[in-house]
Amino acid sequence: MKLSEHLSLNEVIKSDTAIRLGIDNEPTGEHLENLILLAKNVFEPIRRDFGVPIYVSSGYRSKALNKAINGSKTSEHCLGMAIDIDQDGRSKVTNRMIFDYIKDNLEFNQLIWEFSNPEGTPAWVHVSYNKNGNKKQILKASKVNGKTVYSKWEQ
């Protein structure tokens, strides 16, 4: 099934952990509707602007999968509202370029600069979209004493 012109449902539900543990990771109802809106309002504009395939490293997570990977209990991935993009090394488009494009051009609920590469760019980009309103919150994730800490993103 296609969520949008350039994004399939299989791309956003694929999970090695789900396969290995036999976890059903199929969205239904509202979660599928949220994935379609995310694809149309976030993924497709990125894909059109850069003109290259965009790699989704993490998408939808069922509650069982989220628990298995020790994900946040409030993760928007579980609602079909979030994807993680990791473009570094796949084309001339970088995670930083994706982050900046989303920040400057798109509606989003949350945009997270996930950790940092040695080059000082995001290791991947988390973005979410909420059909009920987007707060355009921009955060930076980092490790402090082995725990993930989110702070307000500053240029």
CATH number of the domain enclosing 29 = 3.30.1380.10
- The percent of residues above 70 in pLDDT, for the chain, comes to 100
* H helix runs in 93-142, sequence order: 95-105
pLDDT of 118 > 80? The answer is: no
Q: Quickly state the pLDDT bin for 21 (edges 50, 70, 90).
A: very high
pLDDT in tens, 32-74: 999 999 999 999 999 999 999 999 999 999 999 999 999 989 9
C-alpha 77/C-alpha 116 separation (Å) is: 21
Q: What is the pTM of this model?
A: 0.94
Buried b (16+ CB within 10 A) or exposed e, 85-113: bbbbeeeebbbbbbbebbbeebebbbbbb
Q: Give the pLDDT of residue 44.
A: 98
The more confidently predicted of residues 154 and 41 is 41
Q: Quickly state the pLDDT bin for 116 (edges 50, 70, 90).
A: confident
* Of the candidates 139, 74, 132, the residue with the CA atom closest to the CA atom of residue 113: 139
* Of the candidates 136, 141, 134, the residue with the CA atom closest to the CA atom of residue 113: 141
- Number of structural domains found in the chain: 1
The more confidently predicted of residues 7 and 148 is 7
Give the pLDDT mean for 117-143: 93
Give the pLDDT mean for 126-133: 97
Q: H or E element: which one contains 18? A: helix 16-21
C-alpha 109/C-alpha 19 separation (Å) is: 29
Q: Give the pLDDT of residue 117.
A: 80
Domain containing 110 equals 2-152
For 53, phi then psi, to 5°, come to -60, 140
C-alpha 48/C-alpha 66 separation (Å) is: 30
